[in-house]
Amino acid sequence: MSSTQPVAQAFSETLRTATLPAHQAAERAPFIMALMTGALDLEAYADYLAQLYRVYSALEDSVELVADDPIVSPFLDERLHRRAAIESDLEAMIGPRWRVVLPDAVPATSAYVQHIWTATQEWPSAYVAHHYTRYLGDLSGGQIIARMLTTHYTLRDEELGMYRFELKAPPFKAAYRELLDAAPWDDDERARMVEEANTAYAFNQAIFDELGDREGREG
């Protein structure tokens, strides 16, 4: 009689399923739901972009900490970078003085930025968890966000660069999942990756909640 051994789940799938509740909680935050259904105004969207600008600046500046790491470096691809696109979007929306009038960071944004730097310095692979959470989300749900924004708001093409990538999303995401599966993390490190990705989603939800609170105070 032959017996079969259960096939171990690919880590990319483990990471996706283990972070799905936190991912869904973040994308269903009241501020995001209101923004995506046209219940807010373009100032609220500019505030949202202002927070993302700081997060992506942290991600793209902290690359210097991991660029030579043999595990992390294969994940790095400048085509994913969003800071320049957000700068262009904000200038198109607000004007050349956008840096001067940029909405302040909410506390959760400042905490998230600090965490990206601290976690990456402590364990370079933590960077991948934040890289995965933000950039792969942009390649997937970000495209839905762009369509919803253009449905409910008067946004010109030059104000939507955040959601345009110079790559084909499906093959890129497939290759990214292969990198996650092949990375030589042991079981403890994989658990740590899941925890760090859930932390990233929690920070994103906190940003959305604080933006909602600010909108409520100013609305």
Residues of the chain with pLDDT under 70: 1-7, 218-219
Domain count of the fold of the chain: 1
Residue 19 within any structural domain of the chain: no
CB 207 within 8 A of CB 109: yes
Residue 189 within any structural domain of the chain: yes
Q: For residue 144, give every residue at least 6 positions away whose Cβ sits within 8 Å of its Cβ, in sequence order, or none.
A: none
Residue 116 within any structural domain of the chain: yes
Residue 33 within any structural domain of the chain: no
CATH number at residue 159: 1.20.910.10
Residue 32 within any structural domain of the chain: no
Above pLDDT 70, what percent of the chain?
Answer: 96
Phi-psi region at 81: left, alpha or beta (left = phi > 0; alpha = psi -120 to 50): beta
- The pLDDT value recorded for residue 98 is 94
Residue 157 within any structural domain of the chain: yes
**At residue 33, what is the residue type?**
M
By residue count, the chain amounts to 219
Alpha-carbon distance of 107 to 99, in angstroms, equals 19
Question: What range defines the domain where residue 67 resides?
Answer: 40-218
Give residue-wise pLDDT tens across range 176-186.
999 999 999 99
pTM confidence score: 0.93
Cα–Cα nearest to 37, from 137, 140, 151: 151
- The pLDDT value recorded for residue 1 is 45
Residue 158 within any structural domain of the chain: yes
CB 105 within 8 A of CB 54: yes
CB 63 within 8 A of CB 116: no
Alpha-carbon distance of 84 to 82, in angstroms, equals 6
State the CB neighbour count (10 A cutoff) for residue 8: 7
Residue 16 within any structural domain of the chain: no
CA geometry: angle at 138 spanning 54 and 155, to 5°?
A: 80
